[in-house]
């Protein structure tokens, strides 16, 4: 569009009319080149929030955001082999650290661009930075080299990738328009589409420890993200997964890296191991690398059991700056991972107040405690403590004895009374064992 009246576009959306692809592109380009004012961006975001975005508008917005900056490019012979995964975030969610190398071991390329955590615990990048020397800021040329030699990398977003999203998100944050499903979809899928991948699996979490509390809203978001991904030519699938209790047994940055290594060595908790396999199996299936999701799950399981996924993690760590001896020591079966990873100065154990069965472990209570210990940040750029966090000694379904420890709190200097009370409230004990089962997957959304 040669000349655009942004007030007219705002009025059109405010009145509930559908914006055309050209109009959405004009608005997003105006954000990228600063020809639209911040007040106008805020007004348009509020109009989109109140009137919602159709599936067509959401896809057009996602495409325009993707095209607002640079997109990654890959050798032609990699076409059809580029895959990635995204999670909406949860407590103890370290899946990416295990799944990326497992996928690489299955022969696909994984250019994973991840983020930092805000609030409860660190994000994927923060967790990896607890490994001495690990670098998450790399050039696109270096990224290409790592994927060519290793098959996977996990790096941070550059400022040139989807710059309109960064500006829009900052304004969404101060205009109370963050939790709109269309805008969430555009923000997430645009960054994945800018990676120029062929297939994508989405882990959309619901429950007390997730951004989305109820499954109906999670299902709607999953459907929109699958639709937008497919609309941009990406084979996309989404899994709705439960986040009522922490995933795995570790919550905290270095602690979650340790648990990821143990899982890659075949010694991880069942719920984490199974979720990695479920996500990987669906992704390999929609990517056309496995004839079915069941066969895809077998491929991921084999990559972990034969050690090839662990070898990929070790190679990725070396390629991203970790000293080779450090990486080898971290990944060596039987070696103490905390001979490499930073460790907290003190451990405080909490005991079960009664005998019975664990019927619940409140994920949000654990998340809040972990953040207050220093494992997370309350504002962007704030330093975090890699060493602190929680180590669950029991999981839902286990029997606990009165007076026996159920959690270890890794802390710098003791446990304040308010955090102790918060964690004591997190453990729910019943007289009967809950229904068994370690799968957190509620359903699969194919679109």
410 is catalytic: no
140 belongs to the catalytic site: no
C-alpha span between 411 and 394 (Å, rounded): 19
Q: Is the pLDDT of residue 372 over 60?
A: yes
Q: Considering the candidates 166, 187, 242, 260, report the single residue annotated as catalytic.
A: 187
Q: Averaged over 308-327, what is the pLDDT?
A: 97
Whether 192 sits among the annotated catalytic residues: the reply is: no
- 187 tagged catalytic: yes
CATH architecture for residues 346-430: Alpha-Beta Complex (3.90)
- Upper half-sphere CA count for residue 22 (Cβ side, 13 Å): 5
pLDDT of residue 147: 97
Average pLDDT, the chain: 94
Does residue 253 surpass a pLDDT of 90?
Answer: yes
- Contacts for 387 with CB less than 8 Å, ≥ 6 apart: 130, 252, 253, 254, 342, 343, 344, 345, 410, 412
Q: Which position has the higher pLDDT, 437 or 23?
A: 23
Residue tagged 């800018």 (tokens)? 194
pLDDT grade, residue 123 (50/70/90)? confident
Q: What is the mean pLDDT of residues 261-274?
A: 96
Q: How far apart are the first and last CA of the chain?
A: 32
Q: Is the pLDDT of residue 432 over 50?
A: yes
Measured in residues, the chain has a length of 447
Q: Is the pLDDT of residue 267 over 50?
A: yes
Token duo for residue 65 = 């955001």
**Band of residue 118 on the pLDDT scale cut at 50, 70, 90:** low
E-only strand ranges, 387-426: 389-392, 399-400, 405-411
Least confident among 128-132, 185-189, 376-380, 391-395: 376-380
Asked if residue 173 has pLDDT above 60, the reply is: yes
Query: Do the Cβ atoms of 200 and 83 come closer than 8 Å?
Result: yes
Q: Is the pLDDT of residue 438 over 70?
A: no
With 90 as the cut, is the pLDDT of residue 383 above it? no
Give the closest residue to 126 by CA, choosing from 96, 168, 161, 170: 96
Do 136 and 128 form a contact (C-beta atoms < 8 A)? yes
pLDDT higher than 50, residue 1: no
Alpha-carbon gap, residue 298 to 446, rounded angstroms = 20
CATH code 1.20.970.10 region(s) in the chain: 6-66
**Cα–Cα distance list, 246 to 93, 131, 189, 365, 371 (Å):** 8, 22, 26, 10, 14
User: Mean pLDDT, to the nearest integer, of 97-110?
Assistant: 98
Q: Which of 13, 172, 230, 289 is catalytic?
A: 172
Give me the pLDDT at residue 32, please: 93
Provide, rounded to the nearest whole percent, the portion of the chain with pLDDT above 90: 87
Summarised one tens digit per residue, pLDDT across range 40-88 is 999 999 999 999 999 999 999 999 999 999 999 999 999 999 999 999 9
Say how far apart CA 112 and CA 183 lie, in whole Å.
21
Mean pLDDT for 340-360 is 95
Q: Give Cβ neighbours of residue 239 (< 8 Å, ≥ 6 apart).
A: 201, 202, 203, 204, 222, 278, 279, 282, 441, 443, 444, 445
Residue spans of beta strands (DSSP E) within 99-229: 110-114, 152-156, 199-206
What letter does residue 105 receive in the DSSP assignment? H
Neighbours of 430 (CB within 10 A): 11
pLDDT at residue 336 tops 50: yes
**Which of 165, 203, 271, 362 is the catalytic position?**
165
| Span of 68-82, 87-101, 106-120, 326-340 with lowest mean pLDDT | 106-120
CATH fold of the domain at 76-159+173-332: Pyrimidine Nucleoside Phosphorylase; Chain A, domain 2 (3.40.1030)
Q: Three-class SS of residue 154?
A: strand
Residues 144-161: tens digit of each pLDDT: 999 999 999 999 988 888
Q: Is the pLDDT reported for residue 442 higher than 70?
A: yes
The question of whether 418 is a catalytic residue gets the answer: no
**CB within 8 A of 364, min separation 6: which ones?**
91, 208, 209
Averaged over 210-229, what is the pLDDT? 95
Percent of the chain whose pLDDT exceeds 70: 98
Within the chain, all domains assigned CATH 3.40.1030.10 are found at 76-159+173-332
Instruction: Say which CATH class 6-66 falls into.
Output: mainly alpha
Options 63, 120, 191, 440, the catalytic residue: 191
Query: Residue 2: pLDDT above 80?
Result: no
d(CA 394, CA 404): 11
Stretch(es) of the chain classified as CATH 3.90.1170.30 = 346-430
pLDDT exceeds 60 at position 321: yes
Catalytic residue of the set 86, 120, 318, 410 = 86
CB contact set of 411 (below 8 Å; sequence gap of 6+): 344, 345, 346, 347, 348, 373, 388
């Amino acid at each position: 569009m040669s000349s655009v009246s942004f007030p007219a576009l705002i009025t059109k959306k405010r009145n509930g009319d559908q914006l055309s692809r050209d109009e959405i592109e004009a608005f997003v380009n105006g954000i990228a080149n600063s020809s639209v004012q911040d007040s106008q961006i805020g007004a348009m975001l509020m109009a989109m929030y109140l009137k919602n975005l159709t599936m067509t508008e959401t896809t057009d917005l996602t495409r325009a955001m993707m095209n607002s900056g640079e997109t990654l490019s890959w050798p032609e012979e990699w076409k059809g082999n580029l895959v990635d995964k995204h999670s909406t975030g949860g407590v103890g969610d370290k899946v990416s650290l295990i799944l990326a190398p497992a996928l690489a071991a299955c022969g696909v390329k994984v250019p994973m661009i991840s983020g930092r955590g805000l609030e409860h615990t660190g994000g994927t990048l923060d967790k990896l930075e607890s490994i001495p020397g690990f670098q998450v800021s790399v050039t696109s040329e270096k990224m290409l080299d790592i994927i060519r030699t290793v098959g996977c990398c996990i790096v941070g977003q550059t400022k040139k990738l989807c710059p309109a999203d960064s500006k829009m998100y900052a304004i969404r944050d101060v205009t109370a328009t963050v939790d709109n499903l269309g805008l969430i979809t555009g923000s997430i899928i645009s960054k994945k589409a800018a990676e120029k991948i062929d297939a994508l699996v989405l882990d959309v979490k619901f429950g007390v420890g997730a951004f989305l509390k109820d499954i109906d809203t999670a299902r709607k978001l999953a459907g929109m993200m699958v639709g937008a991904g497919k609309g941009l030519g990406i084979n996309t699938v989404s899994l709705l997964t439960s986040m009522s209790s922490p995933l795995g047994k570790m919550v905290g940055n270095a602690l979650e890296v340790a648990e990821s290594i143990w899982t890659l060595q075949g010694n991880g908790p069942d719920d984490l191991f199974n979720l990695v396999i479920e996500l990987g199996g669906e992704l390999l299936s929609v990517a056309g690398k496995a004839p079915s999701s069941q066969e895809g799950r077998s491929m991921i399981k084999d990559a972990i059991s034969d050690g090839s996924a662990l070898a990929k993690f070790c190679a990725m760590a070396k390629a991203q700056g970790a000293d080779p001896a450090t990486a080898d020591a971290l990944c060596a079966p039987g070696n103490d991972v905390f001979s490499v990873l930073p460790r907290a100065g003190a451990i405080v154990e909490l005991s079960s107040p009664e005998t019975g069965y664990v019927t619940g472990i409140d994920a949000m209570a654990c998340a809040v405690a972990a953040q207050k210990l220093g494992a997370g940040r309350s504002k962007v750029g704030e330093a975090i403590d890699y060493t602190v966090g929680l180590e669950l000694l029991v999981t839902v379904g286990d029997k606990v004895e009165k007076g026996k420890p159920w959690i270890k709190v890794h802390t710098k200097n003791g446990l304040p009374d308010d955090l102790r009370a918060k964690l004591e409230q997190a453990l729910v004990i019943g007289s009967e064992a809950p229904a068994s089962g370690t799968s957190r997957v509620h359903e699969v959304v194919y679109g």
